[in-house]
Structure 1
Amino acid sequence: MRKIKYSNLLLLGVFIYISFHLVISLISKNIEVATLENEKFEAKIKTKGLIIREEHIVKSNSKGSLDLLVEEGERIKKSQEVAKVYRNNISSNIDNDIEALNTEIDKLKNGESNISKSEIIKLNKDIDNISNKVQSGLLYNSYSVVSENKDNLNSLIDERNRLLNNDIDSKRLETKEKQKEILNKNLEKNVSNLSSEISGIVSFKFDGNEDKYSYDKIDNLTKDDINKAENKFTVANEKGDAVNENEPVIRVINNYSTYVALYVNDKEAKNFEQDKSIILRFNDQNTEANVFKMYKDGENNVIILKITNQNIAIYDTRVEEFDIIYKQVEGLKIAKSAIDVVDDKQGVYVVDEESQKVNFVELDGIVYENDDYVFVDYYTNNINGINSVDLYDRIILKPNSINKNMRIE
């Protein structure tokens, strides 16, 4: 009986041992692990941004008909003439009329009037032919030929001079110059020339907030200003439209000075600092900017970003939804659920691929963390000889007292 009891106990012990290892094996197979890989990450917030520019509004200085001299989107220089306003029913064709008179006057002065032009052409040909005969006579000492054609040549030259200076053309020239003088006086008296005070990009659209959201008021913007701003740009005038005095006709935008105002809470504000470089993304387009100003607005923080990319084309937009990318990192992405603290050191449990045991490895080179993850710059660690987690390490995602002390299959 005693031998039978000992045998049963031995069998029970073997059974318990095998069962324990089977359970341990099953547990080890079901422990959550993750293989560390290099990942890129953008820390960002999505928010509404108010766009602020240096803008100059060209206004009509009188009532009349508008003639635009530039195109939408055209880049102009400072003091460049951009438009004209014609008063008192003066037509914009007056410029063309003056130009046509200039052409006629030049022709009359050069002997190319309609009256004498054909005759002068014929006379020039005859003069050339007789000149050739005279030269040939001189060459071959045929003085009779020279004498015969000399008088005829002089007669033709006198006739040409008479036509070039005839009274008819002189009268016509005098009339045309008087007409030009009258038109120039009308032009000077009834036409206003409009020019821009700054260089920049031309736009014919306005929203009436050019003064409110200007650079010189950038320190006074509030959360309410940003929230209430809307895109309400409309075309003010087109070529030939009637305009009134002080009415806007052209908006000129300095595309080298563009700012975006936004607001964030105190927690988000910790991600920004003076002169920090950030990325603005909108309409799948990235543009560089930096933190120009930061100031408090009650419980919020107003941040002014200055766009440093001069090619950004948001001239006819007052507000836009932006992704504000305040940090771009690359490294090993580690879930915070995998992190444990041992002897005041943060680390994770890494599986030794040979022994299948786990080892606690301190995290070093953390370049960014949020509520859920940390990122470790393993590349810099390797260069500097710092022993920490490495690429393709397997770590336990949810360490506890059991899985930290068992082999991981």
Structure 2
Amino acid sequence: MKKTNTEKKKKINKFKFFCLLVVFVFLAAYVMFEIIGLMRNPSNTVIVKEGTVTKEETVTGVIIRDETIVQGKNLKNGMQHIVDEGDKVAVGDPIFRYLSNDESQTKQKITELDNKISVAISENNQILYSSSTKLIDSQILDKIKELPDINSVQILKENKRNVSSLILKKAKLAGDLSPTGSTLKQLINERSKLEKQLTDGAEYIKAEKSGIVSYRIDGFEDKLNDDDFSKYTKDYIKKLNFKVGDIVPVNNEKGKIINNFKCYIAVISKSQEAKNAKEGQKISIVLPNTQMVKGKIVRINREGNNSEVVLIIEFEEGIESLSIYRSIRVDLVWWDKVGNKVPNSAIFDVNGLSYVIRSNNGYNDYVLVKVLKKSDEYSIVSNYSLVELKELNLKQNISTSLLLYDEIVLNPSQSMKNAIN
């Protein structure tokens, strides 16, 4: 009998242990579930502040420009830039020049002649008006010292004219009284001949129209222009096979003038904003140098209902910074809105209306909000007007005014959302 009672007690204890184990397992599972849920959707809070919400997308584009190639005939001796890359010129301004035959050797000979003339003059000890000639000597030496540092063709020519003028002036002062007089005449004549040879052999290229000067030629100047925007289809752009951000190489034989009033970029986009865009619509573009410029969509090339679209966007600023590129990556800013900025994770919808949960010293209340603009992460919200609230006929327990610096709940749990009902 005792054995039977003992066995019964053992069975009861085992059953109790099993029940406790089941309860423990369920509790542990529940705790773990809540922890995981909290990790996935942490119920932190955030302060409502004024901010800006933008809708942007990053796209790759091909630059379309009105470009005119400029070049001369004397290509074999190289060229010298008069106007730097990216600078503007007016009609008739010299842009660059082609070097004359044996120009470097001719310049060297002129320098040597200048030194000989200076030495010959300094050796003349019987020059009249010595105080005047000493001043001229000093001026000549100063001009000669400046020669190696001069890069501008215009300044170089002016310097040479000044030296010639000073030398002639001193030669006249010395005249036949100097033993170097006849030598000076010969040296001066030789120098004049070399200068004429230098001038006659050079070819100057002038601007046929105003614009931005560039020496970077890629061979697409006549193809990627603004004469026909309809040709810029998705296939056309992709077949160009440009590498984004590649620098167009400098050409050593010719240059070009870029229209500095208008530039275009053709981009491919599959965003909903691009598909819904209209010609004439305003849009902002962030260029590679971070400059934001205003643009306008002048052409939309569509292929099918749901495929990518090509947007041709015109803009008028930042053009000079793009002369070295043909393909770039830019940010399109479709819109921006300023107001009460709220994370989307704090907003939830019930019956077609949007709400947030406001936290105040441990007490939560539901606040109705109107979403004005929404990006991927944030929204700009406002409060409904009295007329709108009257039409909505809300429950009494719903607040209708969200203020700056209110504290709202992020990632509210499903139970918190359901409690609104």
Partner of 1:321: 329
Matched, 1:376 2:380: yes
Structure whose CA Rg is larger: 1
Of 97, 101, 109, 1:84 maps to 97
Partner of 2:343: 333
TM-score, structure 2 length as denominator?
A: 0.57
Partner of 2:5: none
Unmatched runs of 5 consecutive residues or more in structure 2: 1-30, 133-170, 390-399
Q: How many residues align?
A: 321
Residue 289 (structure 1) shift: 2.8
Unmatched runs of 5 consecutive residues or more in structure 1: 1-25, 126-159, 239-247
Q: Note if contact 1:289-1:305 (Cα within 8 Å) is conserved in structure 2.
A: no
Tell me, what secondary structure is at the counterpart of 2:325? coil
Partner of 1:224: 235
2 CA distance for matches of 1:298 and 1:256? 31
Residue 263 (structure 1) shift: 2.3
Residue 303 (structure 1) shift: 2.0
Q: Note if contact 1:65-1:86 (Cα within 8 Å) is conserved in structure 2.
A: yes
CA gap 1:233/1:104 in 2 versus in 1, 3 angstroms: same
Matched, 1:276 2:282: yes
2 CA distance for matches of 1:352 and 1:67? 73
Deviations for 1:330-373, whole angstroms, at most 9, x for unmatched residues?
A: 522334971112xxx623264685895754x4432x22135x66
Tell me, what secondary structure is at the counterpart of 1:164? helix
Partner of 2:203: 192
Q: Note if contact 1:263-1:301 (Cα within 8 Å) is conserved in structure 2.
A: yes
Deviations for 1:131-168, whole angstroms, at most 9, x for unmatched residues?
A: xxxxxxxxxxxxxxxxxxxxxxxxxxxxx999636698
Residue 69 (structure 1) shift: 3.3
Partner of 1:363: 369
Of 195, 204, 218, 1:207 maps to 218
Residue 61 (structure 1) shift: 1.7
Q: Note if contact 1:66-1:86 (Cα within 8 Å) is conserved in structure 2.
A: yes
Partner of 1:75: 87
Partner of 2:125: 118
TM-score, structure 1 length as denominator?
A: 0.59
Q: 5 Å matches for 1:2-401? A: 35=45, 37-38=48-49, 40-70=52-82, 73=85, 75-78=87-90, 79-86=92-99, 89-94=101-106, 114=121, 117-121=124-128, 164=175, 179=190, 182-183=193-194, 186-187=197-198, 190-199=201-210, 202-218=213-229, 220-229=231-240, 230-231=242-243, 233=247, 235-237=249-251, 248-254=253-259, 257-265=262-270, 267-269=272-274, 270=276, 274-280=280-286, 282=288, 285-299=290-304, 300-310=308-318, 313-330=321-338, 331-335=341-345, 338-341=348-351, 346-348=353-355, 350=357, 353=360, 359=366, 361-364=367-370, 366-369=371-374, 375-378=379-382, 387-390=400-403, 391-394=406-409, 396=412, 398=414
Return the structure number with greater strand share.
Answer: 1
Tell me, what secondary structure is at the counterpart of 1:65? coil
CA gap 1:222/1:307 in 2 versus in 1, 3 angstroms: same
Tell me, what secondary structure is at the counterpart of 2:235? helix
2 CA distance for matches of 1:373 and 1:115? 82
Matched, 1:404 2:416: no
Tell me, what secondary structure is at the counterpart of 2:219? coil
Deviations for 1:182-215, whole angstroms, at most 9, x for unmatched residues?
A: 5566456543222333455554432221221224
CA gap 1:174/1:61 in 2 versus in 1, 3 angstroms: same
Once superposed, what is the RMSD of the aligned Cα atoms? 4.9
2 CA distance for matches of 1:348 and 1:161? 98
2 CA distance for matches of 1:324 and 1:161? 71
Residue 119 (structure 1) shift: 0.5
Partner of 1:149: none
Q: Note if contact 1:281-1:324 (Cα within 8 Å) is conserved in structure 2.
A: no
Tell me, what secondary structure is at the counterpart of 2:208? coil
1 CA distance for matches of 2:284 and 2:86? 29
Residue 179 (structure 1) shift: 4.6
Residue 82 (structure 1) shift: 3.4
Q: Identity of counterpart residues, as a percentage?
A: 17
Deviations for 1:221-267, whole angstroms, at most 9, x for unmatched residues?
A: 222343234146554555xxxxxxxxx43344455544322122472
Partner of 1:243: none
Q: Note if contact 1:55-1:254 (Cα within 8 Å) is conserved in structure 2.
A: yes
1 CA distance for matches of 2:315 and 2:183? 62
CA gap 1:397/1:115 in 2 versus in 1, 3 angstroms: closer
Q: Note if contact 1:116-1:163 (Cα within 8 Å) is conserved in structure 2.
A: no
2 CA distance for matches of 1:404 and 1:318? 56
